[in-house]
Amino acid sequence: MGWFFKFTNSSVGKKLVMAVTGSFLIIFLIVHLIGNITLFFGPDAFNGYVSALDVVKPLIRVVELVLLAAFILHIFNGIRLWFENKKLCFLVLMHLTVMCQHWM
């Protein structure tokens, strides 16, 4: 597991985690939208959708936990990448300032 944590803490790993969790969140939104669109097809269609969801309720509970974990990971890695980018921009600015001072 050491290589896994080493990879997910690298810059590429953090961006990959952001991509995977973001894709999962987008897929959830699309599925949720499709389910809510059944409202426009009348009460029978929506009640059929709700009864189908009631059958797979244990699976839905697991998916909710995975969704929560993906949401937390997405926010956490987004904040980490944002701070690293700010720190990198500051360091680049400082290096450029020092180089400009040496050239003058």
List, for residues 1-40, the tens digit of each pLDDT value. 688 878 878 888 888 989 999 999 999 999 999 999 998 9
pLDDT of res. 9: 80
Residue 96, helix vs strand vs coil: helix
Residue ranges of alpha helices (H) inside the chain are 2-8, 11-37, 43-55, 57-103
Residue 97 pLDDT more than 80?
A: no
Question: How many domains in the chain?
Answer: 1
- Please, are residues 35 and 41 in contact by the beta-carbon 8 Å criterion? no
What is the extent of the structural domain holding 39?
Answer: 2-103
Residue-by-residue DSSP string for 33-56: HHHHHGGGG-HHHHHHHHHHHHHT
Measure the CA–CA gap between 59 and 43, rounded to whole angstroms: 24
Measure the CA–CA gap between 79 and 85, rounded to whole angstroms: 10
Q: Which two tokens stand for residue 88?
A: 């990198």
pLDDT of res. 92: 66
Residue 85 pLDDT more than 80?
A: no
pLDDT of res. 89: 66
Span 64-88, mean pLDDT? Answer: 86
pLDDT of res. 14: 86
